[in-house]
Each structure stands twice: as C-alpha cells, then as structure tokens.
Structure 1
Amino acid sequence: MGSLPKTMRAQQYDARDNKLHLNDIPIPEPREHEILVKIACASLCHSDVMLFEPNDQGLILGKNPVTIGHEATGVVVSTGSGATASKFKKGDNVGFLCAVECCFECEQCRTVHNSYCATGKTKMQGFTLDGYFQEYAVVDARATMVLPEGLDVKTAAPLFCAGVTAFHGVQDCELKPGQWIGIIGCGGLGHLGVQYAKAMGYKVIGIDITDQALEEARNCGADHVFNSITDKDWQKKIVELTGGGVDAAVNFTASKRSYDDAPAIIRPGLGLLMVVGIPRQPLELNALDIALGRYRVKGSNNGTCYNMRPALEFSAKHNIKPHLTTYKLEELPKMVELMTAHKAQGRMGVVFD
C-alpha cells in the first residue's frame, strides 16, 4: 500500500437507525482481479436514496453499515496481479460499474445484466458491499475503463450510471432522426437523456413536475417542455403537437403516476414506453392495450462492461456533460435531503481532494 494511510473516511448507511454516519474504516487492498482507486468524484443516484425508503422492487442491503454510492470516477493507485488488472497503470483516470463477484462471461452477464449472472453470486457496491462515498475503493478491473479524452475525472462520475442508463434508454428506442421522443423526468437522468436524444437527431419533449427541471431540459436542448402538474392539458397538447403522439416515451422517474399517465401521449400502434425509472410500487399496465398493440413496452439495460464504452465514447464525441453540483463528503446527508425533496437540479456529487 506504500505511503497510503491505513484508514479513510466513508459515508455509511446504517439500517439500525436509517441514517448516514461518517466513519473511519480500513482502506481495502485489491485482489488479483481488482484495482484500488482513489475516488475523484462520487455522485448521488436516486437508487442510493431508495435505501432510506420502504420499497418492494428488490433492493437488497448486504453488510451493515455499508458505504453508499455506486456512481464514481477516480485515479488508479494500485492493481492486482491478474492479467486484466495489470492492463491499468498507476495514475490512470478511470470510471467503473458497481456489479462485482459475477463471472462477466455467461450469457446473462454478456447480453442481459450482471444481476442475473449464472453463478448467482453477484453483489452491488453501494448496497451489498461498500460503495464509493469513501476516499478509496476497490473495483473490478473487468468493469473498469480509462476515461476517453475530453472527459474530466472530477465531473464525469454521473456518466457511469446516469449516463450509461440515459444513453441506452434513448438509443434502445431505435428511433430515426426527426422522430418525436418524450423524456419523462428531466432531473439527474433526464437532463442527460435530453442531450443524448438531441445528439441522435430526435425532436425532444421534456416532461416534469418542477419548472426548475424543465428549465434544465431547455438548457440541454429540449424542443418543448411541459409541466404535468400545472398544465392540465399537457397530454392533449403533446398529442396535437406531435400529430398523434410521441414515437417513444422514456420514463426516467420513480413515479408510478408518471407511468400511469404516459400511454396517453404515445402514438397508438407504433409508439413505445421505455421503462427506466423504478417506482416503489409495481407498475400496472392495461393488458388489453398491450394485447391489441396500442403501444409497446420495453426495458433498457442500465449498464454492463459490454455496453458502457459506447455510451462514454458517444458522450465524449458529442460533448455530453452532466450538470453537476459539488459538495463535500460530510454534506452527503444534505444531498440526500435535496434529492428526496425534489430540489436538486441535474446531478449532485462529492468531489474529493
């Protein structure tokens, strides 16, 4: 470990009191297939906040207390002795995904998601293992990449969850340039989704419940925006504006109501509802609508080592930038409060010295 200290600061969630605690914990050592990274930036995702909320969507807490955070970038400090880990060198600026202990080779890992690895051993850093709101972390070399030129290690952290998720949420709609896409939820994920959609040549409608988020959508290039709370005719207006409805609606929110409202703005017979955001409650879909082909429903893989690189390279090529408001590690509870109260704009992150 050289001149590294033996301990580090970490923001850890404790299920016993449902709170965060700033603890001193040992700095881990990388195993053969791992890399030790000094975290440069860790950003907050809504999935992190779900730890504090009751939910029935399969979110599982592992060790307790656990360092939260699954979205980060950093600088390589040391590597394990394995062939993949050895490809990285000290000082590399890297980003990584949080799935570990999986094989990365089975059909599920390669084409579905690491969560469904055939070994059944997958764990998620930030939930079942310590995550990234700490000064150092070990990450799996197989789920790590050197940042493309043009991406800053202290601002690119949101791209390694929100970015990959938003990119594939939009790309997997398989639209053609000039078609209409509705971005439902223009916050941490959606403001990136707007940028990706514009870069792909789509006509973009931003939909949210706060004017702050809609202003962000406009700044990111949205052609039109609608507040679904204050504008009672927003669905009718979108159908009229698009000549029948959007070709795809990508829902980045954790709101069940937003899913209930989405079919009314989708072009009948051709349109797609893309499921990305995860509400606390299960979704309710009208079986007759699906059976008769009123609209299609699809999900988008939110990030594996096999699809993160295209998202990051596209981001660098098209200058896709997350709106990142930065905080100190001890301010993470404040960040959680802001996200819970829907007062955050873009993404919030801790930047480490």
Structure 2
Amino acid sequence: MKAAQFNTLVNKVEVNEIPIPEPGPNDILIKNACASLCHSDLMLFWGHTAEKPPMDKVTIGHENTGFVTAIGSNVQGFKVGDVVGCLGCSYACCKLQSLGCSAFGQCSTIDLLNHLDECEGCRVHSLHCAKGTGRMHGFTTHGHFAEYSLSDYRNAMVLPKGMDTVSTAPLFCAGVTAYHAVKKCGLQEGDWISIIGCGGLGHLAIQYAKALKLRVIGIDISDSQLKNAKSLGAELTYNSASYVGYAEEIKQKTYGGAHAAVVLSASNAAYSTAPNILRVNGILMVIGIPKENLSINALDILLGKYRIMGASSGTPQQMREPIEFSHKHGIKAHMTTIDKIEDIQKIIDLMEAGKTAGRFGIVF
C-alpha cells in the first residue's frame, strides 16, 4: 500500500510503498476513508515536539475514519465492516475502573481498594500511562496517512449511524480537543467565551460554544478566518494584528471581559495578550502549543486575576461524548481535501500558509 511518511533522516515527508500491516491482539485494521492533518503534525516536521519517532520513517497522521477489515484476537465490541474513528494515542494499558467517585478524597474504602488496581496516568492522558506503553500515531507509532492503518481497539469507536466519514475524521483530535476546551471552562448559558485562533480547531470550538448557548468572540490575524467565524455565529470578531484597541473594546462590550479565553493559536503573542480580554477570575484555557514556553505573572494567578486550565483529546473515555454531540448538533469540520496521497505536500503547504479556515485531509 501507499503511505505518507516522515523521513527523519532527510526531514521531509515522502510517499512510500509499504506492506499492509497485520493486526496485533488488541488491534483493528482500518481501511481508511479519510485522514486529516493536524497542526501538531507540522510540529513534528519542525522538530518542536517531545514525541520523537523511534524509526527512520514513520507514517504520519493521527486523525482518521475508515472501515474495519480485520480484528485482533483480544478485540471486543467491533466487527469487520464497522465504520470507525480513533484517537491519536494507542497502546496505553487503559486500566481504569468505572467508579462513581471523581477523586480519591471522595471514595469509599472499597473504591480506594479498586483505585489501587487502576492506572493514574491513563485517567488523565494515555501518554501518562504508568507502564509507558502509550504511543502517538504519526509520532512514536505509525499513523493513518495510508490506505490501511492500525489502532488499538480501546482507542476507537463505531461512528453514529449516518455520520459523514470525511468531515468526521478531524473530530477525533481537533473536535474532541475543541469540545473539551469549551466544555471544561464550565460556563453558563449567555456567558462570553473568546476563541483565539479561528482556524482548524477554532472553527469547531465556535460551533461547540454556540451549541452550548455561549456568546462568542472570535480573535485572529486572518480576515478570512474571522469572516468564517462570523458566519458560524461569533458575535464579535477582531483582527488582533490590525486593531490595537480590541481588548478595551471587548471589555466595554461584554461589561468586564470574557468569562474564558480559549487559546487555540500556536503563537506566544496570543498567550501574552489573552489575559487582557478576561474579566476578573476568568479562565485562560491552554490548547495551542507555541514554540517557546509561556510566561505568566505569578502575582496575577495568586490574586485570582485569572485562572489557567488545559484540555486535550486525552483518553478514550473522553471520546464518545463530543463525537455524539457533534452528530446531534450537526457540527462538522470544514474540509479541504485531495484524493491522491502523492499530493500530500499540497495540504502541508496549505496548512503552513494558514490562510484557509478548516482542516485539510486526504480522501482514500
């Protein structure tokens, strides 16, 4: 089969002929319908990610949908022909108990004994698995920009009936992340939320925020992405590069500032200016991964000027809710696609240019 692979020796993506993989005991083999590109894939190419490929050539991509064509001996809940999607991290131990308590301090004695047999890391993110077996598709294990790919079945789900495979592919990273970024802010209907970076993740976050009946402010440096943000329901939109006084205007029009600012941009400048649009004790939600470490004023946090939170695609337990929510509310990724894997560089160039809102992918 053909696969788009990042060659670590020459630092570029190339299309190679490789064998169709054989599923291991916990694997499902997927004939891919669509694979989409994420900004973190670009970070791999730039060398700005901590997840380094252990092989010379790794198939890229961690967002996909497709059809199950074979299953491993331990696989449960899937059959050949199922239409599926999967999260970006596989092979963690996934040793979790389904308990009613939400933290150790609220557990009964029996619950505490059960907790001793579960993986604390897997409760937060599969990459924190205590056994150290979690692997990121497209980084430390092969990804989905190929005609066929593997996924740990515990990391996958069958799509709701009738859900479009192409626009759904990005939801398994961008969608799950954007949904939880908005939801975990814990805002009330009518509260103001600012989406900083209205592109690949941002256009999804705006749709989730609107479905949750929040009032949306879109901030970006691209007028085309801001136009798209407005069409999706953002009440206020600002080009932070061309309008110096946008922060003051936001505070005036929202009577104090946004209740939360979700930073989806990978720009350090976006993070340094985000607190300026927040009302007192507002939430700075960290999602975008900039090249440099963030700088914060410790006194601001100590005095409660604003709070800092984070969210990610995380664990399989966080997957189903946003996918089903998206289907229920008609939330879809705006997709620019190509149908030849040999043209992979075209979508890489489009994403790096950052001039078009939405996601980029290959339809197989």
Bin of the TM-score, shorter chain as denominator length = over 0.9
Q: How does 1:218-233 map onto structure 2 within 5 Å?
A: 218-233=230-245
- Does 1:244 find its partner at 2:256? yes
Letter in 2 for 1:100: S
Amino acid of the residue matched to residue 296 of structure 1? R
CA distance in 2, matches of 1:248, 1:111: 25
Partner of 1:5: none
Matches within 5 A, 1:266-277: 266-268=278-280, 270-277=281-288
Q: 2:224 & 2:310 partners in 1: Cα distance?
A: 27
Give, in angstroms, the shift of residue 109 of structure 1. 4.5
Give the match for residue 50 of structure 1: 43
CA contact (8 A) 1:80 1:86 kept: no
Alignment of 1:141-180 (within 5 A): 141-180=153-192
Contact 1:37 1:75 in 2 (8 A): yes
Shift of residue 221, structure 1, vs aligned partner? 1.3
1:102 to 80, 92, 107: 92
* 1:64-85 residue CA offsets vs partner (Å, 9 max, x unmatched): 2111100111101011121xx2
Which residue is 2:104 aligned to? Answer: none
Bigger mean CA deviation after superposition, 204-213 or 335-344: 335-344
C-alpha distance in structure 2 between counterparts of 1:66 and 1:231, whole Å: 42
After superposing the two structures, state which structure 1 stretch, 144-153 or 131-140, moved more: 144-153
The amino acid that maps onto 2:62 is H
Structure 2 matches for 1:1-353, cutoff 5 A? 8-55=1-48, 58-82=50-74, 85-105=75-95, 106-268=118-280, 270-327=281-338, 328-352=340-364
The match for 1:4 is: none
Task: Write the distance in 1 (CA, Å) between the matches of 2:72 and 2:157.
Answer: 15
Q: Does the Cα contact within 8 Å between 1:190 and 1:252 map onto a contact in 2? A: yes
Determine helix, strand or coil for the equivalent of 1:316: helix
Query: Does the CA-based 8 Å contact 1:112-1:301 persist in structure 2?
Result: no
Q: Is the 8 A contact 2:51 2:140 kept in 1?
A: no
Q: CA deviation at 1:121?
A: 2.0
In structure 1, the partner of 2:101 is: none
TM value normalised by structure 2 = 0.91
Gaps of 5+ in 1: 1-7
What is the identity, as a one-letter code, of the residue corresponding to 1:244? G
Which stretch has the larger CA shift, 244-253 or 228-237?
228-237
1:274·1:300 contact (CA, 8 Å) conserved in 2?
A: yes
- Give me the whole-angstrom Cα distance separating, in 2, the residues matched to 1:313 and 1:197: 15
Normalised to the residue count of structure 1, the TM-score between the two structures is 0.94
The answer to whether the 8 Å contact 2:124/2:314 transfers is no
- In structure 2, how many angstroms separate the alpha carbons of the residues matched to 1:300 and 1:61? 24
Matched position secondary structure for 1:201 = coil
TM-fit CA distance, 1:304: 1.5
Structure-2 separation of matches of 1:253 and 1:108: 30
Q: CA deviation at 1:345?
A: 1.9
SS in structure 2 opposite 1:348?
strand
- What CA distance in whole angstroms lies between the structure 2 residues aligned with 1:137 and 1:11? 12
Instruction: Please list every run of 5 or more consecutive structure 2 residues that lacks an aligned counterpart in the other structure.
Output: 96-117
CA contact (8 A) 1:206 1:225 kept: yes
Q: Which moved more, 1:108-117 or 1:205-214?
A: 108-117
Q: What is aligned with 2:113?
A: none
Query: Given that residues 14 and 21 in structure 1 are in contact (C-alpha distance below 8 angstroms), is that contact kept between their aligned partners in structure 2?
Result: yes
The whole-number CA distance in structure 1 between the counterparts of 2:342 and 2:328 is 34
Shift of residue 62 of structure 1?
2.4
The 8 Å contact of residues 209 and 228 in structure 1, kept in 2 or not, is answered as yes
Count of aligned pairs? 341
**Residue type at the aligned position of 2:91:** E
* Cα distance in structure 2, aligned partners of 1:321 and 1:315: 7
Q: In 1, distance between residues paired with 2:120 and 2:277?
A: 33
Q: Secondary structure at the match of 2:18?
A: strand
Q: Alpha-carbon deviation of 1:338?
A: 1.5
Q: Tell me the CA shift for residue 58 of structure 1.
A: 2.1
Deviation at 1:110, TM superposition (A): 4.2
Q: Percent identity?
A: 50
Q: Amino acid of the residue matched to residue 69 of structure 1?
A: G
Letter in 2 for 1:298: M
Deviates more, 1:71-80 or 1:101-110: 101-110
